[in-house]
Chains A and B, each alone.
Chain A
C-alpha cells in the first residue's frame, strides 16, 4: 500500500512537467481492532501549535495560525523527496484516505482541513502547487505550505517537537535524506494539538474518529 506513493513522490520531486500521471489511490488497511466510537473518549490538549510565518503554493506569506485555527486540522510535516516508505509517503497515504472519507461528508468537510508543511527549503512554491494540483481539489481544503525563513522553520519545528537533520552518509548521487520521525498533528479549532500520529499508529479509521470526536466536542457533529 505504502509503496504505491513512492513513484509519485519521485515524480513530484522532478517538477510539475512530470506530473501528468494520476496519483494512485492507496487503500487503507482496516485496523485489527474495533476502534472506540467517535465522541466516546477524550483527546486532552497536548501542546499549542507554534506561531510562524508560512508561504503558500503561490509564494504568498501567511500567519501559520490561519491554517491551524477555525477548523479541525490534520497537519503533516514533510519533504518532497522523502522516499522512506514509513515516512512521508505513509503520511500522504493516510491523508488521501481521510480526504476521501471526509469529502464524502460535506457537512464535515467544511469544518476540516488538511495541511502539509514542508521542512525542506528546496521545496519551491511551484512544487507545492504541483502537490496541491494532484492531491487537493476536493471539497476538503488541503494546503501545501513552506516556512518563510529558516529561523521561522526552526522555531516551528521546535514548537511541534519535530526533530530533523540532513544525513551526511550515503550515496552522494542520490537525493539527500532528511532524517525525521514521521508525525501528523491533529489540531482543534483553537489551535491545540490533540493527537499525534506516528508510523506505529497511522490508522485512518481511528484518525477519522478522532476528527469526528473533536467536532462532536464543539457541537459541530453528532455521535
Chain B
C-alpha cells in the first residue's frame, strides 16, 4: 500500500536519494559532562580538542582550537591534525558540548566572546559556525567560563561584570541556535558573595551547584602582582550555592573558603554527592545530604601542603565515583585520591607531570589521562618553566605511563588550556535511507 505520506516522501526525496553518509558521534564519554548530553564516549576517544591561547610572537599569534589524533590505531596518532584560528587573543578558557554533542561552545574571559564549533559532522575538522559577542550587553556579565548543556540550550557561567570587573556575576542561558534566553544573578544575600565559576547539575535531585572564583580585575592581572596585593587577594569567592534547578532560584549558600572551582557529581548510580577543590586553601569539599536530607558542604581532605599553596586547579572524577585526579599547578603534580569513602579521600598516588599543569581529563574507562599546562595567560610561569603542552598518559591503576606529547610551543600553537574528546562518527544515512 502506498500512503499519501509515503508518496509525498518519494516525490520529495529524489533530490536526497544520494543521501550521503553523514556523521554522528559514536556512543561513548569522559566523566565530567552535563547529564543532559547524549553520545557518551565509553570506548576509545579519537580526538582531543584543545582550546588554545594565542601567544604574541608565536605562530599566527591567534587563539585557536587545536585537534589532536588520540587513537593509537591511527597513522597520525599523537599528532596535530587540525588547527582552527578564531582571530585575536581574548583569554580563551573553557568549552562545553551542546546536549546533542553536535556543537562545542568555547569562551574567552577577556573579550567575553563565545565561539561555536560544529564537531558533529567531522570532528577531525571542527568548523566555526557562530560567534556570540552579546553576553556583556545582554546580561552585564563578563567572562563566559563554564558551558553546561541543558535540553536545547546552553547555560553559561560568567566570572565577572561590566560595571566594576569584580567578581559579582551570573549565569546566562542561550538557545542552541545562539539566541539569548535568560539571565540569573549569583546570590548576594543569605551569605552569597555573588561570585561564580563552575556549574554541576543533579537532575534526580533537581539540584544545581555553583562555585566561585574571581573577577576580571584579578584573573587578568599578573599573578606575581596579584599575590602581592592583599586587597586584591581578598576578592576571591568563598561560597558554593545550591539552586532549585527548575525554578533557577538559590536554595542555600555554603561557606567554602578559598575559591572552590570545578564541581563533580559522582556518576555512580544511587550516589548523590559532589566534590570540589578549593584553589587557595587546597582542600577537598564534599556536598551531600545529611540525615535530615538537608544539603551540606564540608571539608573532607587536604591536597598537598596548603601552606605552600600548591593551587589545585582541576579535578576529574572516575566513572565509578571511587577515584579523583587532582592537578596542582604550582608544583606541576598530578595526584590521585581514593574516593571509596568520599567523607575521607586519601591520596594514593602522585607524579610530577610538568613544570606547570592545569587541566586533567580522563577517558570514561579511566585508562587514559590527559593533561594540559596553561592556567591563565598572566598566571602561567615565566621563562623555562612556561612549558606548554598536551601530555597523554596510560593509567593501569598504579602508574601514569607517557603515551604521547604535543609541545605547543615547538608547534607554534600557544598555551594549551581546556580539552574535550570526540569520537569518529558511526555510519549513518539521512532520512532518504528509509525509503
Residue numbers of A with Cβ under 8 A of B are 31-33, 35-36, 40-42, 44-47, 55, 59, 119-126, 146, 148-151, 153-154, 161, 163-169, 176, 178-179, 181, 183, 193, 195-198, 200-201, 206
Q: A47: which of B4, B21, B152 is its contact (CB, 8 Å)?
A: B152
The 4 A-B pairs at the shortest CB distance, nearest first, are namely A41-B247, A165-B428, A196-B151, A121-B9
Pick 26 A–B contacts, CB within 8 A, sort by A. A31-B206, A33-B204, A41-B244, A41-B247, A42-B182, A46-B175, A47-B152, A55-B8, A120-B434, A121-B431, A121-B434, A125-B3, A125-B5, A148-B5, A149-B9, A161-B176, A163-B100, A165-B430, A167-B428, A168-B427, A168-B428, A169-B426, A179-B426, A183-B151, A196-B152, A198-B151
CB closest chain-B residue, reference A146: B5
B36 to chain A, nearest CB (A): 5
Q: Count chain B residues whose beta carbon lies closer than 8 angstroms to a beta carbon of A.
A: 51
Interface of A is mostly: loop
Q: For residue B233, which residues in chain A have a CB less than 8 angstroms away from its CB? A: none
CA distance A36 to B78 in the complex (A): 49
A218 to chain B, nearest CB (A): 19
Q: For residue B8, which residues in chain A have a CB less than 8 angstroms away from its CB? A: 55, 148-149
CB closest chain-B residue, reference A195: B151
Instruction: Judge if B235 is at the interface, Cβ distance under 8 Å.
Output: no
Instruction: Judge if B177 is at the interface, Cβ distance under 8 Å.
Output: yes
CA distance A24 to B207 in the complex (A): 32
Contact A161 B246 (CB under 8 A): no
Given contacts A47-B175, A179-B24, A206-B246, are A150 and B9 in contact (CB under 8 A)? yes
Contact A161 B152 (CB under 8 A): yes
Contact B152 A36 (CB under 8 A): no
Contact A166 B151 (CB under 8 A): no
Q: Which of B227-277 contact A (CB under 8 A)?
A: 244, 246-249
Contact A124 B246 (CB under 8 A): no
Q: For residue A124, which residues in chain B have a CB less than 8 angstroms away from its CB? A: 1, 3, 5-6
Contact A168 B248 (CB under 8 A): no
Q: Which of B22-60 contact A (CB under 8 A)?
A: 22, 24, 35-36, 38
Given contacts A121-B6, A169-B426, are A32 and B205 in contact (CB under 8 A)? yes
Q: For residue B153, which residues in chain A have a CB less than 8 angstroms away from its CB? A: 46, 196
CB closest chain-A residue, reference B151: A196
Q: For residue B181, which residues in chain A have a CB less than 8 angstroms away from its CB? A: 44-46
Q: For residue B100, which residues in chain A have a CB less than 8 angstroms away from its CB? A: 161, 163, 181
Contact A123 B5 (CB under 8 A): yes
